[in-house]
A and B are shown apart, each in its own frame.
Chain A
Amino acid sequence: MNDISTRPVPDNSAPFQRLHPLSIVLKSMGTLGQNVFAILILHFSLFDQNIVYSMLAALTLITLVFGVTTLIWSRFTYQVTTREIRIKSGLLNRNNRSISFDRIQDVSLEQKLVSRLLGLATVALETGSGGGEDGQLDALARTDAEKLRDTIRDYKAGLTIGNDGADDKPVTADAPPLFAMDNRRIFIAGLFKFSFVLLAILGALAQNLDFLLPGGFFNPRSWIDAFPEQDTINGFSSWVRIGGALAAILSLIMIGFISGVVRTFVREYGFRLDRVDSGQPGFRRRRGLFTLTDMVMPIHRVQAAILQTGPVRARFGWYHLKFTSLAGDAGGETDHSAAPCASLTEIEPILDECAIHQARADLMFQWVNSAFWWRRAIIASLLLTSIALGTGLLVHSGLFAIILLGAPVSLISYLNWRQHQYALTDSQIYVRSGWWRRKLTILPLRKIQTVDVSQSPLDHPLNLATVTIGIAGGSPVRPVMIKNIDFDQAMSLRNRLITQTTNIPTAD
């Protein structure tokens, strides 16, 4: 009864609302934080460390920033009608945007640390039109933000299942989560997120803050001078020196692990994936240590599942489950992380929710043509040989050694070939790729948008072809590809993929 025809026309009388006033403070703080440096630089350079001038400048800056932020805030209004949200913004260039609830792919609430203290939340609406968030309300009171999300959800519920869906609202907080990670699991996940980011940050900090450090901090000579007896170092045996070098390398590796663990904790702390049934069935994901995010993604928007792992992780049986949908995840990622570190048995129920099946044990994966690796190996070797010859003859004879790089490049190509496989069932295609970053894409055939068979000039003599599958969402630079298979095989594979999309007209 609550279908589209009886739905009231969009009522334009809904009041235009402003964002929460505290968001002015929030944004001003952010802008000021970026400008503290400028003041500091002025303090030390132009004002010649005159504290009065610097204070005056700081005061002017604060007034300016607050004034402009308040002005922008006062010109930003939004209106929530029964079927769309309208956002008016802009100081001089007025921008009037309306986003229909139908087109919203997912709604996420985000709370940074300060917002949490102030009880605010940022609402981000994704329509999947590319280019990040399409509507961002930064920031509303937490309750208002949740109300807005529920409004959108309830609208969609009314559209899909009528009234009965909206009546039974199970309390999702009590239901056991589909997937959750305790601290131990997050720690394990962090171990595999080995990165040198922390080191880079430390380096950048040291670069920027070196005026705080005593002069010559980065000058190794001043450190050597600091040792009272230079001779003691010279007196050490070479084993001690090697030990010192090893210790340095080990500490670098430790830093890599620690930064991975820290970053993972900050991001994934309290990770919890629920199924929500009120409204459209969807996944609700909550995570974050300082910045809390709360995202809801409708299940029917899931286009494909991706299981990522690595050579070491695979041995321990840990996988990262991601979902491809039209809208991207926060932080510029193209896929929605659904389980950052889970075993296959834990992933099974999550995949069941969106009717995607894991590969059966007896499913035969097919390999692609071995030209996949040897052609690359030949090209890379030729290229390296010419570089080695050129630089070796002209610059330094030691550079002939560049030729040796051909061996690891060929080995990696070979390993990548071993991992590049595909399998087709009646309803899904499985594509494996990558040796170091192993990726298994499980794609329901009904979600396929287009299929390409392409040949490069190098493919013609071998009669090979590459099949590229276009799906909604995912990375535009790395689409689902089956590389270097026989041309006829590629054509028949495409026929089987395409018949699935056209024979089931009701699929969506």
Chain B
Amino acid sequence: MTEHASNPLSPEAFAAQETCLSPGYNQGLTSLHPPQKSLIRIGMIIRALILLALGLAAEIGLQIQLGVQPGMVLIPVALIAAVLVLVLPGRIYRRWGYDMGDEQLRVLRGFLWRTDTIVPFNRIQHIDVAQGPLQRMFGLSALILHTAGTHNSIVTLSGLATMDAEDMREIIKDHIRQDMI
């Protein structure tokens, strides 16, 4: 650990850490329903389009004002957009995971900022199963757990197959008890 310690921001050290973690990106937890990857990609495409539009505007503006070479802005932006759409969805997808225990649900979220939450079933106040229009297209649902905690009052596990989400809700429902606080 000390060899990294001198330079915490070094990309090499970061990459080395990344590869040594690679066997179990999500620590061997259950992966999300595969169509979730497509959903993430759609979100990324939208972000990439916004980015491209902004880049185009910046490019035109800079060209008129300062006369910069064409492509000085657009090419890097296009590269970032390509990374967003082609590379990131798969990486984000494999970082997420959940584990349905007997007494608790474990949810692993996030890509760069990773959060690993455990919610004991008997601490859950109520449960939602939610589905947006895009999620419906892919047969996905989000399981939303409400706890009494002020921090983590809502824990969302998105990207479950609708059937799974409903099954999980039924299992958790039996554990909900009155007046936990």
Query: A residues touching B (Cβ–Cβ < 8 Å)?
Result: 102, 301, 303, 326, 371, 375, 378, 447-458, 460-463, 468-476, 479-480, 494, 498, 501-502, 505, 508
Dominant secondary structure at the B interface = mixed
Contact of A460 among B18, B103, B120 (CB under 8 A): B18
Tell whether, in the assembled complex, residue B17 and residue A461 are in contact, meaning their CB atoms are under 8 Å apart.
Answer: yes
Residues of B4-22 contacting chain A, CB below 8 A = 4-5, 8-10, 13-14, 17-18, 21
Question: Is B162 interfacial (CB 8 A cutoff)?
Answer: no
Contact of A461 among B10, B118, B121, B149 (CB under 8 A): B10
Dominant secondary structure at the A interface = mixed
Show 12 A/B contacts (Cβ-Cβ < 8 Å), sorted by A.
A326-B148, A448-B123, A449-B120, A450-B120, A452-B151, A452-B152, A457-B113, A458-B9, A470-B149, A474-B151, A502-B122, A508-B180
| Alpha-carbon distance A160/B4, docked complex (angstroms) | 57
Tell whether, in the assembled complex, residue B115 and residue A461 are in contact, meaning their CB atoms are under 8 Å apart.
Answer: no
Tell whether, in the assembled complex, residue A501 and residue B4 are in contact, meaning their CB atoms are under 8 Å apart.
Answer: no
Instruction: Tell me which residues across on chain A come within 8 A of B21, comparing CB atoms.
Output: 460
Question: Is B66 interfacial (CB 8 A cutoff)?
Answer: no
Instruction: Tell me which residues across on chain B come within 8 A of A450, comparing CB atoms.
Output: 117-120, 123, 147, 149, 151-152, 155
Given contacts A326-B148, A456-B113, 13 further A-B contacts (CB under 8 A): A450-B118, A450-B151, A451-B117, A452-B115, A452-B118, A454-B114, A461-B17, A472-B150, A475-B150, A479-B151, A498-B104, A502-B120, A508-B179
Nearest residue in B to A497 (C-beta to C-beta)? B118
Contact of A476 among B1, B116, B151 (CB under 8 A): B151
Nearest residue in A to B115 (C-beta to C-beta)? A454
Tell whether, in the assembled complex, residue A470 and residue B150 are in contact, meaning their CB atoms are under 8 Å apart.
Answer: yes
Question: Is B181 interfacial (CB 8 A cutoff)?
Answer: yes
Tell whether, in the assembled complex, residue B115 and residue A508 are in contact, meaning their CB atoms are under 8 Å apart.
Answer: no
Query: B residues touching A (Cβ–Cβ < 8 Å)?
Result: 1, 4-5, 8-10, 13-14, 17-18, 21, 103-104, 110, 112-123, 147-153, 155, 179-181
Tell whether, in the assembled complex, residue A456 and residue B180 are in contact, meaning their CB atoms are under 8 Å apart.
Answer: no
Tell whether, in the assembled complex, residue A474 and residue B118 are in contact, meaning their CB atoms are under 8 Å apart.
Answer: no
Q: How far, in Å, is A342 (CB) from chain B's closest CB?
A: 26
Given A303-B181, A472-B150, A505:B122 Cβ within 8 A: yes
| Alpha-carbon distance A196/B17, docked complex (angstroms) | 49
| Alpha-carbon distance A479/B153, docked complex (angstroms) | 12
Instruction: Tell me which residues across on chain A come within 8 A of B17, comparing CB atoms.
Output: 460-461, 463
Query: A-B pairs with the 3 shortest C-beta distances?
Result: A470-B149, A449-B149, A479-B151
| Alpha-carbon distance A185/B142, docked complex (angstroms) | 54
| Alpha-carbon distance A494/B104, docked complex (angstroms) | 13
Q: How far, in Å, is A267 (CB) from chain B's closest CB?
A: 24
Instruction: Tell me which residues across on chain A come within 8 A of B181, comparing CB atoms.
Output: 301, 303, 326, 447, 472, 508
Tell whether, in the assembled complex, residue B151 and residue A470 are in contact, meaning their CB atoms are under 8 Å apart.
Answer: yes
Instruction: Tell me which residues across on chain B come within 8 A of A501, comparing CB atoms.
Output: 120, 122-123
Given A450-B118, A458-B8, A474-B150, A463:B123 Cβ within 8 A: no
Tell whether, in the assembled complex, residue A502 and residue B103 are in contact, meaning their CB atoms are under 8 Å apart.
Answer: yes
Q: How far, in Å, is B107 (CB) from chain A's closest CB?
A: 9
Tell whether, in the assembled complex, residue B118 and residue A498 are in contact, meaning their CB atoms are under 8 Å apart.
Answer: yes
